[in-house]
Amino acid sequence: MATDDPKLEVDLDPSGGLLVHLRGVWVKDQVIPDIRDITNAFQKNHDVQRLSFDSEEIARWDSVLLTFLVKLCRVCNEKGIECDTRGLPDGVLKLIHLAFAVAEAKQIPHESRNRTALYRIGERLLANRANAQKQLYFLGETCLSLSRFFTGRARYRSSDIWLFIEECGPRALPIVTLISVLVGLILAFVGSVQLTMFGAQIYIANLVGLGMAREMGALMTAVIMAGRTGAAFAAQLGSMKVNEEIDALKTMGISPVDFLVLPRIIALVLMMPLLCLYADFMGILGGMLVGVGLLDLSLTEYYTQTEAALAMRDFNVGLFKSAVYGILVAIAGCMRGMDSGRSSAAVGEAATNAVVTGIIWIIVSDAILTVIYNAFGV
Amino acid sequence: MEGCTASDRSPARIKVADLTLAYGEQIIQRDLSFSIRQGEIFIIMGGSGCGKTTLLKHLIGLLRPNRGKIFYDDRSFWDTPDAERDEIIRRTGILYQSGALWSSLTLAENVALPLAEYTNLTRDAIDEIVSMKLALVGLAGFEDYYPSEISGGMQKRAGLARAMALDPEILFFDEPSAGLDPVSAKRLDDLIVELKESLGTTIVVVTHELASILTIGTDSVFLDNESKTMIAGGHPRKLLNESKDPRIRTFLTRGGGSLD
């Protein structure tokens, strides 16, 4: 007779209340009776004042029974019906008491949910202003810190600088090699299609040499470093913030900008021009592969043509740009990291933002520098 | 499911046999053998760095023992196939030291995730259970908050709500009172006892908090740092009253040797 399914029966008890019989196994994966079976009974008997339970035949129960009863108690409270829980299993009773022990915290206002579109736009704009202010503030801090560095008053560990120099110099060589050889190849290929039409294959050397030295070497290393090192800086500083390591520095009177940001900026600014120069030569090598391999130029021809096409000035143009990019990438990474929230999701966001900010700054400054170079005829 | 009192006759839910814990060559604890019985509040105690949390990580399957076996209801945990192991673990709930709530999810989503993954309840039913679990730990109305928006004690309680989501038969607590003020710690202890009594859940607590050990514990194992093995076990109050071992006496009396 006793089945496992959860069952519900509503009786009128002799004293005029309702008696609810609960039977069977009330666990997840079972089809639980609808609470309306009971509320309907309320509607039929308007004069019901009391609700009591009989749970003798409950075999097993878990949260499902609890949610059912909590819901029922709420309905009873609304209707002013007395809910006599004495007939319930001991454990259930205790848990229901626990669930109702602390009042719901609905009175605590919770901001920024269900706002109008206009409100959100305004909020976003204000946040942008605050964000710009923060960026300026950080920039100012960095400048102060740099001035402390040059006057020898900055507190940092010089071993950190060497560590970061290794991290963003030698360790970046493999990827810089790969990318710049390929960029040199691509430049040569694209150029060769046009130049062979005029029989001017030899000018591939000029195209690749000038392209790499003045523009592509610096730009490609900067983009690589933004993705590689800028993101790493942001993630490092962000997780230090989560761990309260930055707070610990502050409370010891050590400026986190001096201690954490400065070594990173200096390392990257020192390494970036070197990487750029390396990338220039790797790009020229890539162009040479195409020139000698596909266009039947001899090695000496290509070499002499490159030498004739390039002046020291062209390299300087690229090297200066790359130093600027180095500062920008390091600042973007550190700024986003120091600005990160205190959760794991926020650290990821900081790393993403660091790369995006870094690349935007690189391209914008590239445009500005190119215009300036042009105006001065460099 | 009625609240049952701990007795030696209640069956062992977890049995640890001749367990050795090690990180590579470095042995943390050796020759551990004890049983955790149904309905007990079992305390794993010992000084800092003696391997309490490591033992817990072995019990919940995060680390593989160097030697020895762990039995869940007479099934050897590491000798069962993966699928069965998952099923065993799903019947346990774990409260990590700092809550370990997923920071990109709201409290409600945190508690709902295991329910959505492992049951075929409807969205509404899950929401109801989630609200009820949060109410049980005193967090009713905090469903839409993110973990970063609430205090450490609240995060811990929310973590407990998540650990209880699937109505586990065994609940593990890693340092439940760490980082809580005495009143919150006491409240959490009370909650643990309430849960044990109302749900009949077996509870394993890793702690060095004396107040908790003596008030809620009904059975225990004491790990020693020096000899790298367990040197005592049993009801903590009984240990306090009867143990002659100076190491245990010092620990349970906070360095004072006399009975309090």
Q: What is the pLDDT of residue B5?
A: 43
B100 contact A CB<8A:
no
What distance in Å separates the CA atoms of residue A22 and residue A38, rounded to the nearest whole number? 12
State the average pLDDT for chain B.
85
Bridge-based pairing state of the strands A7-12 and A18-26:
antiparallel
Q: Do B129 and A103 touch (CB under 8 A)?
A: no
pLDDT at B143 over 80: yes
pLDDT in tens, chain A (378 residues): 345 788 888 887 777 788 888 888 888 877 778 888 887 877 777 777 788 888 888 888 888 888 888 888 888 888 888 888 888 888 888 888 877 777 766 655 555 566 788 988 998 899 889 888 988 999 999 999 999 999 988 888 888 899 999 999 999 999 999 999 999 999 999 999 899 899 888 999 999 999 999 999 999 999 999 999 999 999 999 999 988 888 888 887 888 999 999 999 999 999 999 999 999 999 999 999 999 998 889 999 999 999 999 999 999 999 999 999 999 999 999 999 998 988 888 899 999 999 999 999 999 999 999 999 999 987
Q: In this complex, which of A104, A343, A346 lies closest to B140 when CB atoms are compared?
A: A104
pLDDT at A113: 63
**Nearest CB to A342; choose among B129, B148, B200:** B148
Which chain A residues are within 8 Å of B128, Cβ to Cβ?
67, 70-71
Are A63 and B167 in contact (CB < 8 Å)? yes
Which pLDDT score is estimated for B256? 67
Q: How confident is the model at residue B8 (pLDDT cuts 50, 70, 90)?
A: low
pLDDT of residue A111: 58
CB contacts of A22 in chain B (<8 Å) are none
> Over 60: is that where the pLDDT of B260 sits?
no
| B123-156 per-residue burial string, b: 16 or more CB within 10 A, e: under 16 | eebbbbbbbbbbbbbbbbbbbebbbeebeebbbb
pLDDT of residue B185: 85
Q: Are A134 and A336 in contact (CB under 8 A)?
A: no
Residues of chain A with Cβ-Cβ distance to B148 below 8 Å are: 341-343
Most B CBs within 10 A among A63, A90, A93, hence the mutation to make, goes to A63
A204 and A287 Cβ atoms separated by less than 8 Å: yes
* Residue B186 tokens, joined: 């006491």
Q: What is the pLDDT of residue A112?
A: 54
Read off the amino acid at residue A66.
L
pLDDT for residue B4: 40
Mean pLDDT, range B184-193, rounded to an integer:
86
Q: Hey, what are B171's tokens?
A: 């609940």
Cβ A63–B200 below 8 Å, yes or no? no
Domain locations in chain A? 7-101, 156-376
pLDDT of A271: 96
Between 3.30.750.24, 3.40.50.300, 3.40.50.2300, 3.30.830.10, what CATH number should domain A7-101 receive?
3.30.750.24
Residues of chain A contacting B120 with CB distance shorter than 8 Å: 29
* pLDDT tens per residue across span B52-106: 888 988 888 888 888 888 999 888 888 888 888 888 888 888 898 888 888 878 8
CA distance, residue A345 to nearest chain B CA (Å) = 6
For this complex, say whether ipTM is above 0.85: no
Q: What is the pLDDT of residue B227?
A: 85
* A203: nearest Cα among A214, A216, A191: A191
pLDDT of residue A18: 82
What are the backbone dihedrals phi and psi of residue B119, each rounded to the nearest 5 degrees, phi first? -125, 165
Task: Please tell me which residue of chain B has the smallest CA distance to A107.
Answer: B141
Model pLDDT, residue B6: 44
